[in-house]
Structure 1
Amino acid sequence: MRVTVIGGTGLIGTRVVRRLRAQGNDVVAAARGTGVNSYTGEGLEDALEGASTVVDVSNSSYTDAAAAQEFFYPSTLNLLTYGAAAGVRHHVALSVVGTDRLARAQGGYFIAKQQQESLLGSYGRPYSLVHATQFYEFVRTIAEQALRGRAYYLPDVRIQPMAADDVARVVADAALGDPTGRITEHAGPEVFGLRELAQLDLRYLQDDREVLPDPLGTYFGAHLGSDDLLPSATAHLASTTYHDWRTDPASNAAARRLLAE
């Protein structure tokens, strides 16, 4: 089976590519670094040639609404149109648990993600939409965006994060399965307060700075209710706990690389 992974050199993409190849599939890791740009269309025709499935785990580096929309909508439209021309039979996209709630909370990035999902659902091509909660690997990034002076100020919300390896597993499984035409939610096995988890992460890194409450704090621009980041009761739960992830040498190395970028 030939699969093209858009964003195939990123945090999730590299794991998806590795997993699919280990199962004997012919996989194209497509990214700007490999000469493929889903936003401009550069290299897409060649990257999708002969592919039965395209997996989109690409992401925008911008979190404001205008910039994120400028990336996600044209990129998804290109993947759908080029994919249709190439005979792609299944479009798999990775998105975020609670996108609709976060978009209503005026989170600019999530408005763009919701538009991406709407386009995917209305275009008429077979698709599967994987919703995942935040990754353990990004907990420190979330905290860093809320650093003021010597303390981190975070909103009082709950989070149910999961390991990037588990996200890649469910995305790869979706790519090898039949199109669902709907959203499937995935989350980690534990619920934390966001401040609690950020504090725990700092302690693992031997960082003694405090994490303090911020009632007006936002999550990538969205003002949240306490449970807006949590999945539904029907979500599929991964098995990797935060402790298991944090104490795994390979996971720690990957997290350090991410922080260094």
Structure 2
Amino acid sequence: MEETTPKPSWWQRYKAFREEHTFAQYLQRLFLKAILYFLGISLALVLIFKFVPVWFTPTMLDRKLEAIADGRDSEIYSDWEPYENISKEVALAVVASEDQLFPEHHGFDFDAMWGAFRHNFKGKKIKGASTISQQVAKNVFLWQGRSYVRKALEAYFTLLIELIWGKERILEVYLNVAETGKMTFGVEAASLKYYGHSANSLTRAEAARIAAVLPSPNRFSIKKPSGYVQRRTNFIVRQMRGLGGKQYISNL
């Protein structure tokens, strides 16, 4: 005759219930603490970088590690310059090229995002719709790659920098950390490396050529522009003129 396992007493059931719920509550508290720590640290970083130059970014680290792994020169070329020391021609050029609604939106261009979604949904070549604010959030605070988690964090940091930094600071950081060539970051480093002078004296054509390579700075060259880069440079110059010139970004 098989022995039957005795049913646990009400006290045993009660203890098991308490233990399970105590562990669940512990996990809940741990999760809430992790969120609070993340919010505190992320807010502190955004506040710090409102005033402190961004000397190094995750993208720079990625490029450096790739170069070391490939046995190439791993030196990063970057030279921070305050916004007032950078030619407004190049500031206008990147806005004309990357995000013409930058002075008006609050971090997101929803029409462009919807257009990119429809484009990608049709199975065509992946098309991005990131604003300058989103690109800064990604480049300064996040790792490279594509995932829903990273996109959610990108949106979070985009909102933070829009609220705390303001447009001029966002554009200043972008102009200093955007990848502009092989192992080269920022318009000052690009101007010195490819034109032999500081970014404060960039001409409209020079500025437009820097902006022209931004979508793929490791593929396209400022120094030896392809036919595509030259055509895109001319297009950006026309867009800059169509926006009304430097006046378009005078009240960020």
Q: Please tell me the TM-score bracket, short chain as reference.
A: under 0.3
Which structure has more relative contact order (CA 8 Å, sep 6+)? It is 2
More strand per residue: 1 or 2?
Answer: 1
Using the size of structure 1 for normalisation, the TM-score is 0.25
Larger C-alpha radius of gyration, 1 or 2? 2
